[in-house]
């Protein structure tokens, strides 16, 4: 079996660190690990399979010098914009975790369980884009439902953990919790978010758009339509909540006219779908929560119920670890599927 030289750009960041954990858990066919970061990180190391590996500086020539086959990018859109082309020119496939390439018509946007066939389009650009974290966990639940009844419209409200803003978001919540417990909130620093996050929710993620939605909300709209290959109507409200890890989503799905939803059929379709698990026993207080999904590679779905007014509408709650399912794990699954498809050609 062929083994690959694998580079991780942004090796010292939250997603970069998780990529190493996920690759190890999935026994990724690694020949050599190439951790890459800015010059600031020189001298630091990462751990992979109980070995300490030195972090190298990201340069225009590092991919060629290290004969990189697969390059994971998780260091921000501007870094991907500047350096991804050098990885491609060196012969690597780039799997990009940033938003920079997602809506490029020549770059496939992939959730392997949902649209694996799109991976074959990677040769046009040499790049495969990883969707927004909230989009990934949502489409994992939408795909089986679309196959079941045909989706017409989706309305979603998110409850997004602070780790979606990286390490600085987690550190700010923890510091503000400490300040609250020591009665120093009036002195607390507000840097990672527009407002205090502890003991609060912030109904804005990313910048405002002309249509009144935020950039994060429009990502969910456009990315879902691209992944599902369907111009379904989508409306999103994205909210930051004081949870360290795992995003939650309250989702309302409107199916095609004439559909009469059978909740048991919905549960069965979701439970059978790859990497989705149903936890749905309201009477016994069993449903998805961030503490259930954190540090797992599963999207959990529960609180499934038929609308009390419209027979073609279903509501449910969806939770996943956005650092894993919404970033690192999806990237690794893309790479594994790419390897599988390359072997079949």
User: Active-site residues: which are they?
Assistant: 133, 247
| C-alpha pair distances (Å), 258 with each of 150, 254, 255, 264, 309 | 11, 11, 8, 18, 14
Backbone angles phi, psi at 203, to 5 degrees: -80, 45
CA gap 185, 182 in Å, rounded: 8
Q: What separation, in Å, do the N-terminal and C-terminal C-alpha atoms of the chain show?
A: 15
Task: Count CB neighbours of 270 within 10 A.
Answer: 25
CA gap 235, 217 in Å, rounded: 8
Cross-strand partners of 252: 155, 315
What Rg value do the Cα atoms of the chain yield, rounded?
Answer: 20
Alpha helices for the chain (secondary structure H): 14-25, 62-65, 77-89, 133-149, 167-181, 215-228, 263-272, 290-293, 329-344
Q: What's the token pair of residue 268? A: 């069965």
Element (H, E) at 15: helix 14-25
């Amino acid at each position: 079996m062929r083994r690959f030289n694998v580079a991780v750009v942004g090796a010292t960041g939250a997603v970069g660190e998780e990529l190493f954990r996920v690759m190890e858990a999935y026994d990724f066919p690694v020949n050599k690990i190439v951790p890459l970061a800015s010059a600031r990180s020189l001298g630091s190391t990462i751990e992979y399979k109980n070995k300490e590996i030195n972090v190298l500086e990201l340069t225009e020539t590092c991919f060629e010098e290290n004969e990189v086959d697969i390059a994971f990018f998780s260091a921000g859109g501007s870094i991907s914009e500047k350096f991804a082309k050098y990885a491609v020119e060196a012969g690597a496939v780039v799997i990009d975790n940033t938003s920079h390439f997602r809506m490029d018509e020549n770059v496939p946007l992939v959730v392997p369980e949902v649209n694996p066939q799109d991976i074959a389009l990677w040769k046009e650009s040499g790049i495969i884009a990883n969707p927004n974290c909230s989009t990934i966990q949502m489409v994992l639940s939408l795909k089986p439902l679309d196959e079941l009844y045909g989706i017409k419209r989706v309305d979603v409200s998110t409850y997004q953990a602070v780790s979606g803003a990286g390490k600085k978001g987690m550190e700010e919540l923890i510091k503000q919790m400490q300040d609250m417990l020591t009665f120093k909130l009036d002195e607390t620093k507000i840097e990672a978010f527009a407002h205090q996050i502890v003991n609060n929710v912030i109904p804005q993620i990313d910048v405002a758009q002309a249509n009144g939605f935020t950039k994060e909300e429009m990502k969910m709209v456009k990315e879902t339509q691209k992944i599902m290959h369907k111009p379904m109507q989508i409306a999103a409200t994205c909210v930051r909540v004081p949870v360290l890890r795992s995003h939650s989503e309250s989702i309302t799905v409107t199916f095609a006219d004439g559909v009469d939803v059978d909740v048991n059929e919905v549960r069965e379709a979701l439970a059978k779908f790859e990497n989705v698990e149903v936890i749905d026993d309201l009477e016994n207080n069993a449903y998805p929560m961030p503490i259930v999904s954190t540090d797992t590679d599963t999207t959990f779905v529960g609180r499934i119920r038929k609308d009390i007014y419209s027979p073609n509408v279903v509501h449910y709650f969806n939770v996943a670890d956005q650092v894993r399912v919404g970033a690192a794990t999806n990237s690794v699954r893309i790479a594994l599927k790419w390897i599988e498809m390359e072997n079949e050609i």
